[in-house]
Amino acid sequence: MEQISFLFNTIHESVIKENGLKYGLMELHKERVERAFDKAKSFYNEEKTNFLNLPIRKEQLSEMLEYSEVLKKRFKNMIIVGIGGSSLGTEAIYSAFTQRYDHEFFPEKRKLYFVDNYDARLVEYLMNNISLDDSVFVVISKSGGTLETMSQYFYIKDVVVSKKGLDYFKERLVFITDKEKGQLNILNDSLNVKKFIIPDNVGGRFSVFTPVGLLAASFVDIDITKILEGAQAMTDEFLNAEIEENSALKYSLIQAIYDQNKGFNSSVVLFYNDRFIKFSEWFRQLWGESLGKPSVDGSFRFGTSPLSFRGSTDQHSQLQQFIEGKNDKLYTVISFKESGEYRFQKPELEKFSYIEGYGFNDLLSAAKIGTVRSLIEVKRPVIEIQLSKFSEFEFGAFLQFFMIVTAVTGFLFEINPFDQPGVELGKNYSIDQLKAGLK
């Protein structure tokens, strides 16, 4: 896909010496890569819908498009009640296509609100101030058993029903959940509100292209058909490219080798464009929850810790550690250069004369170039991903790339990237504590 380029040249040992990898990497690991690739291909061909074959199947697309038109006519605010995979992807899309200050400067625009934590200041503040008449509540939970989400639902229901009654609440309530399992379905047996489905084989963090991510995106006029087309174009490119030319396979193999063979501890995503702010949170969840697992025989623990870095802001907080701290991180530098309107005049201070004629995005580009050069100079491995265009199509492709490489890295490790048994332990303890009473 010519709008997204992947640059792998700086991870070779000719550039970063003993920290680098040999040329002919794919050939050296051919059998292992082929096994993972075959697994991905059969996954795509599975009868059941999963994240890889989702974009081509376009399940519920027309229903989402139609229903979002209904919602748009009636409401200005959509409150997303969900957590983890049930909200981060939606937020990643929303923040990629809106501006940070839209809420303040364009009060008439339709908006999304995310209540993804127990924090009373977040949830109660929202409910104390939002106009109920203008709001629709979308409760998203694949399992229907997530306490964050369900407690928010109980609270919101209390507030709305006590002020306006149950019928009023039901008219502005949507569930996105499993076809038949889980607590939301039990609730819906009596409420009977509008429901969208998260397919069986699509787990939370891989569900951004289901109604989880797309209904809300469509509500704020993001073109979800184009998102799916981009995701499908990336899937096609991945499935059809030769192994040697296959960027997703190459990216996954590099990640796997730095984790398993080189003992690296972190995979850092550095992004140079604020459109990726929430993407980076989504990525952290996707990577961490999918890959932080033991090998089948229990002898090794996989999973580099996902970190994120916002350029240029975090150059003033994390870069010192990256350049002079532990050499145990693999870097992915993501950029999209867009041009603002303003160009600097000759500044009144001679010291800054070199910025004359540039715009802010030139400065951001220069910051990226500076960071990459300095990382390479101190022999840190860097992969670059550059977008030359940014629309729904490219962003759909970009998100799908990260889901593909996460799954394929899991296949290379021969682990299951789609479960998360480790999350249950803490969850159960906190529930036990609530049952026993808080001290």
Q: Counting contacts by CB under 6 A, is residue 416 touching ligand PA5? A: no
**How many Å is the Cα radius of gyration of the chain?**
23
Q: What is the DSSP letter of 417?
A: T
Q: What is residue 267's three-state secondary structure?
A: strand
Segment interacting with ligand PA5 (CB under 6 A) among 95-103, 200-208, 378-386, 406-414: 200-208
Instruction: Find where tokens 């002898």 sit.
Output: 299
Active-site pick, 17, 73, 316, 435:
316
- As measured in angstroms, the least distance from the Cβ of 281 to ligand PA5 is 12
- As measured in angstroms, the least distance from the Cβ of 81 to ligand PA5 is 10
Start-to-end C-alpha separation, the chain: 57
* Contacting residue, 50, 60, 135, 149, with ligand PA5 by CB under 6 A: 149
Count of residues that interact with ligand PA5, criterion CB under 6 A: 15
Q: Counting contacts by CB under 6 A, is residue 146 touching ligand PA5? A: yes
Active-site pick, 148, 281, 289, 384:
289
Q: Counting contacts by CB under 6 A, is residue 50 touching ligand PA5? A: no
Q: Counting contacts by CB under 6 A, is residue 84 touching ligand PA5? A: yes
Which of the residues 342 through 401 are near ligand PA5 (CB under 6 A)?
A: none
Segment interacting with ligand PA5 (CB under 6 A) among 20-28, 136-144, 235-243, 275-283: 136-144
- As measured in angstroms, the least distance from the Cβ of 306 to ligand PA5 is 13
For ligand PA5, the closer CB: 10 or 149: 149
Element spanning 407, H or E: helix 392-413
Whether 316 is catalytic: yes
* Contacting residue, 50, 77, 95, 141, with ligand PA5 by CB under 6 A: 141
Q: Counting contacts by CB under 6 A, is residue 55 touching ligand PA5? A: no
Segment interacting with ligand PA5 (CB under 6 A) among 106-114, 141-149, 268-276, 362-370: 141-149
Q: Counting contacts by CB under 6 A, is residue 215 touching ligand PA5? A: no
Instruction: Find where tokens 């860097």 sit.
Output: 382
Q: Counting contacts by CB under 6 A, is residue 142 touching ligand PA5? A: yes
* Contacting residue, 79, 80, 83, 112, with ligand PA5 by CB under 6 A: 83
| Cα–Cα dist 125/83, whole Å | 18
CB 37 within 8 A of CB 431: no
Q: Counting contacts by CB under 6 A, is residue 289 touching ligand PA5? A: yes
Tokens of 148: 């964050």
Q: Counting contacts by CB under 6 A, is residue 203 touching ligand PA5? A: yes
Question: CA of 338: how far to CAs of 6, 335, 373, in Å?
Answer: 18, 10, 21
| Cα–Cα dist 296/34, whole Å | 19
Neighbours of 2 (CB within 10 A): 6
Tokens of 397: 């492709």
Report the b/e string of 12-48 with b at 16+ CB within 10 A.
eeeebeebbbeeebbeebeeebeebbebbeebbeeee
How many helices (H) and strands (E) in the chain? 19, 10
For ligand PA5, the closer CB: 68 or 146: 146
- Helix 88-97 with 392-413: angle, nearest 10 deg: 150
Q: Which residues are catalytic?
A: 289, 316, 427
Kindly list the residues in this chain that would bind ligand PA5 in the complex (CB under 6 A): 83-86, 141-143, 146, 149, 203-205, 285, 289, 420
